[in-house]
Amino acid sequence: MALGDLSKDPVYVKLLAYWKENGSKLDMRDLFQKDAERFKKFSLELELPDPDGGSPLLLDYSKNLVNEEILKLLLDLAKSRKVEERRDEMYAAGRINTTENRAVLHIALRTRADDTPINLDGKNIIPDVTRVLNQMEQFCNDVIGGKWVGYSGKKITDVVNIGIGGSDLGPCMVCEALTQYRVGPKAHFVSNVDESHLTDVLSSVCPETTLFIIASKTFTTQETIANAQSARKWFLEKAKDESAISKHFVALSTNLVKVKEFGIETSFEFWDYVGGRYSLWSAIGLSIALQSGFTNFRKMLDGARFIDQSFKSSPLEKNVPAILALLGVWYNSVLGYESHAILPYDQFLSKLPAYLQQADMESNGKSTTLSGARITDYNTGPVIWGQAGTNGQHAFYQLLHQGTRNVPADFIGFVQKSESVPGITHHSILLANLIAQPEALMIGRTPPDSVAQELRPHKFFSGNRPTNMILARKLTPFTLGALIAIYEHKIFVQGTIWNVNSFDQWGVELGKELAKAIEPELTGTSKGTHDGSTQGIIEFILKHK
């Protein structure tokens, strides 16, 4: 389905003209003043069927630089960019990842065995998904229940996931988010090829009771293979028995040939229609299922499945991922804002900004359209960043409130605290901060007359700075699954509007290739030709190592 150039899309042109003409007059404070119903009109509620307790999820997007006219134009833009058609194509297993000739079916990973078939090349893929989920369930029960033990007969107490990018960030983020749901071994994560990462984790685990999970879609990623080989060496130095490997190393991959070559017997498969950054729902989530138990892993899949159905069936104006996406397009591509902050007010979600950074920036950090044209006249994916509140408040919120840049932000919080140590009840302080920050960003402040004249400009807050609020009852596996899926579909809608392929990542290849060529130069086994700066750096290292 070929789309024309966004910059020539008549609706986009109208949005640009609208902003040019009315942008300076658009003041959220006036909009609230003039419309008592604004919160109601510009918010959505989803009733999440969470088995851990009924859970409404609120998206309040009333604190945005939009009015009804703009929203209508944005919804028109979604129509004119064929968002619904492309969504249906994705759900119908169309090969929408055109540069890799692959379907994009992370939604299939969240299905249940009896769901409507998803046929890829004439074959329903749900039975394969179910088979691997069953295999994961059995394995988790065996490890947690003590049937699968280490080489000396001891129960597995720790798992070390060795992977990077999508084979690390999702499971790592979720394991921390579901800390309070832990029923199995403690999950640790090693991603960086910097040996400090591996040695640090290894120093905290015991070989007899540790299971290594080698997580790599391709099983060729340099960092992961280097870490996996070193972990194997460390393990054998302690175990002194090659046959013990099979009890302590399992693999998660689409490349079962390479897994075998590496010498791992137990593997959990997934498929090329699962992008790395969309893979935590697949076998890549094994560390989650081991730490939190398979039941909780399934609840997380169910939360995402609920959003998959809602995204597919809700009209765009009531569609949470679509609304978030359209607001992002408004800021990025019409107003020219450069970044977007993710601000979870829950310590257990502290890795969510890093996770969404990969999900969003690797997906939509592109400047080539699906038909191969260069994008020069509108912004695509923003810089995604953030930190858990309230820590961020004491770091970068100064810029959010008074900087020269406008940074749209998503505030994310939970009405109830999952579980705290008895007697410790800070939650109302956390919630008060979560509510106060978007309020302050919008209302701003003109200092009262009592403030000294020379200080007045410094104590002035312009306000009118846009934010979303995503609020759910409690951070449960189901709610977390729903939240992540909302962002996945938001990214999809934006990529569709920008006409980029959100599912490839060619931009990471060049650096990888050059690093492979440079490494032997650092050991003196080869000599390359580089620009003056790169050559100078290499020579500096060779001189001082």
Cis amide bond preceding 479, omega within 30 = no
Instruction: Please give the Cα distance from 517 to 520 (Å, whole number).
Output: 7
Choose between 397 and 503: whose C-beta lies nearer to ligand F6P: 503
The stretch near ligand F6P (CB under 6 A) out of 50-58, 149-157, 164-172, 366-374 is 164-172
Instruction: Please give the Cα distance from 485 to 481 (Å, whole number).
Output: 6
Residue 20, judged by CB atoms within 10 A of its CB (0-12, 13-18, 19+), counts as exposed
Q: Does 473 bind ligand F6P (CB under 6 A)?
A: no
Of the residues 164, 228, 361, 485, which one makes contact with ligand F6P according to CB under 6 A? 164
Choose between 239 and 361: whose C-beta lies nearer to ligand F6P: 361
Q: Does 232 bind ligand F6P (CB under 6 A)?
A: no
Instruction: Please give the Cα distance from 140 to 289 (Å, whole number).
Output: 7
**Residue 224 Cβ vs ligand F6P, minimum distance, rounded to whole Å:** 5
Q: For this structure, is 394 an active site residue? A: yes
Of the residues 64, 67, 111, 167, which one makes contact with ligand F6P according to CB under 6 A? 167
Q: For this structure, is 362 an active site residue? A: yes
Instruction: Write the DSSP string, 148-202.
Output: SB-TTSPBP-EEEEE--GGGTHHHHHHHHHTGGG--SPEEEEE--SSHHHHHHHH
Of the residues 96, 239, 505, 521, which one makes contact with ligand F6P according to CB under 6 A? 505
Beta-bridge partner residues of 469? 60, 411
What is the layout of strands, in order, in the sheet containing 266-269?
186-190, 158-162, 210-215, 249-253, 266-269
Q: For this structure, is 512 an active site residue? A: yes
Q: Does 171 bind ligand F6P (CB under 6 A)?
A: no
The stretch near ligand F6P (CB under 6 A) out of 44-52, 140-148, 160-168, 397-405 is 160-168
Q: Which of 437, 491, 472, 466 is nearest to 349 (CA)?
A: 472
**Alpha carbon separation from 235 to 171, 216, 250, 290 (Å, rounded):** 23, 20, 14, 20
Choose between 219 and 378: whose C-beta lies nearer to ligand F6P: 219
- CB-side exposure of 84: number of CA atoms within 13 Å? 14
Instruction: Please give the Cα distance from 348 to 354 (Å, whole number).
Output: 13
Of the residues 124, 135, 218, 230, which one makes contact with ligand F6P according to CB under 6 A? 218
Q: Which of 28, 20, 61 is nearest to 44 (CA)?
A: 61
Choose between 73 and 284: whose C-beta lies nearer to ligand F6P: 284
Q: Does 465 bind ligand F6P (CB under 6 A)?
A: no
Choose between 126 and 280: whose C-beta lies nearer to ligand F6P: 280
Q: Does 508 bind ligand F6P (CB under 6 A)?
A: yes
Residue with smallest beta-carbon separation from ligand F6P: 276
Choose between 44 and 354: whose C-beta lies nearer to ligand F6P: 354
Q: Does 97 bind ligand F6P (CB under 6 A)?
A: no
369, 98 Cβ separation under 8 angstroms: no
Of the residues 150, 184, 185, 276, which one makes contact with ligand F6P according to CB under 6 A? 276
Q: Does 192 bind ligand F6P (CB under 6 A)?
A: no
* Footprint of ligand F6P (CB under 6 A): 164-167, 216-218, 221, 224, 276-277, 362, 505, 508
